[in-house]
């Protein structure tokens, strides 16, 4: 039997628990396969896609900073990937086409938006920090939920303005003005890579954040980013991206293997252990 190969492309990748997740499921469902970290440069994306085309690789996940950069190499993008122009999962279809999917939106809907529904009204103001691929998924998941007031702020203003062209209902806030605008926000979502294990962190303090605000970090490793720790100390309700990560992985696995894998207790235990 030939061993199947899967992996995740991105840079940096040392924080990623995708191999833990998928290798656990391969073992559980007796699939002869391996999932590895493929830390690559932008110039190497084409080579990786070629490997999928010739079945040397059976599928990949895509993470920061390549969720949009991967698209020109694909033959087809589907559903939520088409709506967001952000791809986090790639597969080969029965016609031999390399297909881009977005399972982040599904992950966000099940891992975060469901929680928001019980905590928060659709009229509340939501601020998204960051304008990369995952921000597009966040906006789309919130838009599907019916959220009316979405603002976005990004270090590079142009990328936030480009997002506004696709989603005109989004308000853009200058990165330099974040501290003075934070007090009007009910939900703040970190969709930047700030706070990622071994990476840079926020310079902002968010001193004037509303006591009733909810802070959601797409990052899951570390389990508590420096910002989450700071806000928790001030009594702010916080969530990390662990559930979103697991749900997006579940959907990717099901695209590649046609099995919806179970989120069992053993898997949760293994993941928590890795994060501590
Ligand atoms: P992807 O498309 O895969 O999500 P990305 O476009 O690199 O990846 O997205 C990373 C996000 O984190 C961007 O919003 C990026 O801001 P820029 O558009 O200005 O690059 C943000 N980010 C990364 N490092 C940052 C830093 N040191 N300060 C502020 N924002 C940062």
Going by CA atoms, what residue is nearest to atom 26 of ligand 1?
194
Element (H or E) spanning 188, and its range? strand 187-190
CATH code for the domain of 193: 3.40.50.720
Check whether residue 18 and residue 29 sit in a common domain. yes
The pLDDT of residue 143 is above 80? yes
CB-CB contact of 52 with 60 (8 Å): yes
Instruction: Determine the structural domain holding residue 123 and report its residue range.
Output: 105-240
CB-CB contact of 186 with 126 (8 Å): yes
- Looking at residue 55, its pLDDT comes to 97
pLDDT band at 42 (very low <50, low <70, confident <90, very high): very high
Per cent of the chain over pLDDT 90 is 93
Check whether residue 62 and residue 111 sit in a common domain. no
Check whether residue 10 and residue 70 sit in a common domain. yes
CB-CB contact of 275 with 130 (8 Å): no
* pLDDT per residue as tens digits for the range 162-178: 999 999 999 999 999 99
The pLDDT of residue 118 is above 90? no
194 close to ligand 1 (CB < 6 Angstrom): yes
The pLDDT of residue 155 is above 80? yes
Mean pLDDT of the chain: 96
- Looking at residue 28, its pLDDT comes to 98
Closest CA to 99 of 79, 74, 81: 74
The pLDDT of residue 117 is above 90? no
Q: How far is the CA of 132 from the centre of ligand 1 (A)?
A: 6
Q: Which residues contact 173 (CB under 8 A, 6 or more apart)?
A: 127, 151, 152, 153, 181
Check whether residue 118 and residue 194 sit in a common domain. yes
- Tokens for 54, please give them: 């010739």
Q: Is the pTM of this model over 0.85?
A: yes
User: What's the Cα-to-Cα distance from 108 to each of 74, 75, 102, 251, rounded to whole Å?
Assistant: 24, 26, 11, 12
Check whether residue 158 and residue 184 sit in a common domain. yes
- Looking at residue 27, its pLDDT comes to 98
What total of structural domains would you count in the chain? 2
* pLDDT per residue as tens digits for the range 218-230: 999 999 999 999 9
Check whether residue 218 and residue 257 sit in a common domain. no
Going by CA atoms, what residue is nearest to atom 14 of ligand 1?
130
84 close to ligand 1 (CB < 6 Angstrom): no
- Pick the residue with more confidence: 53 or 197? 53
Going by CA atoms, what residue is nearest to atom 18 of ligand 1?
156
Instruction: Please identify, by atom number, the ligand 1 atom nearest to the C-alpha of residue 135.
Output: 4
CATH code for the domain of 25: 3.40.50.10860
Considering the candidates 50, 67, 230, 258, report the single residue annotated as catalytic: 67
pLDDT band at 258 (very low <50, low <70, confident <90, very high): very high
Known catalytic residue: 82?
A: no
108 close to ligand 1 (CB < 6 Angstrom): no
CB-CB contact of 87 with 71 (8 Å): yes
pLDDT band at 276 (very low <50, low <70, confident <90, very high): confident
162 close to ligand 1 (CB < 6 Angstrom): no
The pLDDT of residue 92 is above 90? yes
Check whether residue 11 and residue 73 sit in a common domain. yes
The pLDDT of residue 122 is above 80? no
């Amino acid at each position: 039997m030939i061993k199947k190969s899967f992996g995740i492309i991105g840079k940096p990748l040392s924080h990623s628990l995708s191999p833990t997740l998928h290798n656990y499921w391969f073992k559980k469902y007796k699939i002869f396969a391996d999932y590895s970290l493929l830390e690559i440069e932008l110039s190497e994306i084409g080579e990786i896609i070629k490997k999928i085309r010739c079945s040397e690789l059976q599928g990949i996940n895509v993470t920061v900073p390549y969720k949009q950069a991967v698209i020109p190499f694909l033959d087809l993008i589907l559903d939520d990937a088409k709506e967001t122009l952000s791809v986090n999962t790639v597969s080969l279809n029965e016609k031999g086409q390399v297909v881009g999917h977005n399972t982040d939106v599904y992950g966000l809907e099940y891992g975060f938006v469901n929680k928001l529904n019980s905590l928060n009204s659709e009229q509340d103001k939501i601020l998204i920090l960051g304008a990369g691929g995952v921000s597009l998924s966040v906006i789309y998941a919130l838009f599907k939920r019916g959220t009316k007031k979405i603002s976005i702020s990004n270090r590079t203003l142009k990328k936030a303005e480009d997002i506004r062209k696709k989603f005109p209902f989004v308000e853009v806030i200058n990165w330099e003005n974040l501290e003075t605008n934070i007090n009007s926000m009910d939900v703040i979502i970190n969709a930047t890579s700030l706070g990622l294990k071994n990476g840079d962190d926020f310079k902002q303090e968010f001193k004037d954040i509303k006591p009733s605000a909810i802070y959601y970090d797409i990052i899951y490793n570390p389990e508590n980013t420096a910002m989450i720790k700071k806000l928790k100390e001030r009594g702010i309700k916080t969530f990390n991206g662990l559930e979103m990560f697991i749900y997006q992985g579940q959907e990717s696995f099901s695209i590649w293997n046609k099995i919806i894998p179970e989120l069992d207790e053993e898997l949760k235990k293994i993941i928590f252990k890795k994060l501590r």
